[in-house]
Amino acid sequence: KAGVTQTPRYLIKTRGQQVTLSCSPISGHRSVSWYQQTPGQGLQFLFEYFSETQRNKGNFPGRFSGRQFSNSRSEMNVSTLELGDSALYLCASSTYARTQHNEQFFGPGTRLTVL
């Protein structure tokens, strides 16, 4: 099976712009989660989607949003970019089940730089 893919891999934007990142999960995986990784804050959970519904949201401002499509592909959007949004954005997919087995498979990430 192909792994989790994220596009684009690198992105440079300026303050005030908005950006959309895309994630294609592993075939058959219906849950997609997004994480932000920065040197200062480490890895932080943004949100999780399953069946086109946001199931869980981290502690991020409303400028961060996402959605999931019927084919499980997901996008996240950041509006009115700030310098502090520069980070590696990681997407992870997993099979969704009400069990404790919750291995997540991560994509390579999108490196966003805000100038």
Residue window 18-57: x/- pattern of binding to another protein, with contact defined by CB under 8 A: -------------x-x-x-----xxxxx--x-x----xx-
CA-CA distances (angstroms) from residue 92 to 15, 19, 97, 114? 27, 19, 15, 23
d(CA 18, CA 15): 8
Nearest to 81 by CA among 66, 100, 63, 67: 63
20 vs 104 by CB, closer to another protein: 104
4 vs 19 by CB, closer to another protein: 4
1, 28, 59, 62: which one contacts another protein (CB under 8 A)? 59
User: What residues line the site for another protein (CB under 8 A)?
Assistant: 4, 31, 33, 35, 41-45, 48, 50, 55-56, 58-59, 88, 90, 92, 98, 100-109, 111
